[in-house]
Amino acid sequence: MSTVSGWRASGFGLSHVGKVRQRNEDSLAIDGEGRFVLVADGMGGHKGGMEASRMTIDLVSEALDKLHSKMDTASDDNVRNFLRELFQKTSRQVHDRGAKDPLLAHMGTTLVVWMICGNEFKLAHVGDSRAYLVRDGEIFLISMDHTFVNEQIAAGAERDQLFGGSNYKNAIFRNIGMMPPSEPSIVSGEPCEGDLWILCSDGLSNKMTGREMLEIVKNHLTLEEERTQFFADTCRDLVQLALDRGGEDNISVLFFSVLKDEKSN
């Protein structure tokens, strides 16, 4: 069924193993009806990262598919509680799966969930996979990396008081698979016609600035490409830039716009 909110996501996703890794541990999903978009970047074990990200995307997609229609009319508090419980339940399931198989021990994954809910978008995430919003010719980082430095700053520490040489400064302090489960960061906002979103793993965001992402988007906008081609070519150029700059990690991106849903009530 179509969303009752009047909004939907439409776009393109691309994932590349990169130049160094043997396996692609990233997983992506964009709902066929434009209700939600997901990115997960797995970590841990011989094959744990790949299993963690795929398992997480499957579990979260199934839950959102079943309950999305109810959330369209739910209060903001109820939606936020649902998302917290979904992240926590998924984290426990991933943890339990890893505990049963030595090859999957300590597996985990980042997770970004973007969804339309009523007349708002909701963005919930753990880890350092990112979400950028392109609006009115500018780009905005909407997510916050859950790394050691950012967690300490959020707790009140001054940046110049942090030990810059710490081996843990870029360590991820929240993920799916962690026990006890991590608290997701949740952001709400009103969509605008023509909003463009970039959701990506750190294999992309570590290789370029948001401003460079925006320039690639603008370059393709000036070409006046057919819609599907615009999204596909932009994704390919973003991934290619990350590859050109080393491609040491898996590289994944979902690029989509927010549109009025003509089928909605």
- Model pLDDT, residue 148: 75
Mean pLDDT of 146-166: 61
Q: How does residue 257 score in pLDDT terms, banded at 50, 70 and 90?
A: very high
> Alpha-carbon distance 36 to 122, whole Å?
9
- Model pLDDT, residue 3: 44
Q: For residue 259, what are the β-bridge partners? A: 8
- Model pLDDT, residue 118: 87
Peptide linkage before 181 cis (omega within 30 of 0) = no
Q: Exposed e or buried b for every residue in 105-114, given b needs 16+ CB within 10 A?
A: eebbbbbbbb
> Alpha-carbon distance 234 to 227, whole Å?
11
User: pLDDT tens digit string along 201-231?
Assistant: 999 999 999 999 999 999 999 988 899 999 9
User: pLDDT tens digit string along 56-89?
Assistant: 999 999 999 998 888 888 999 999 999 999 999 9
Question: Is the pLDDT score of 157 beyond 90?
Answer: no
- Would you list the domain boundaries of the chain? 7-260
Q: Exposed e or buried b for every residue in 26-58, given b needs 16+ CB within 10 A?
A: bbbbbbebbbbbbbbbbbbbeebbbbbbbbbbe
Question: Is the pLDDT score of 264 beyond 60?
Answer: no
Closest CA to 115 of 13, 7, 195, 194: 7
What's domain 7-260's architecture?
Answer: 4-Layer Sandwich (3.60)
CA 200, 260, 211: angle at the middle one, nearest 5? 35
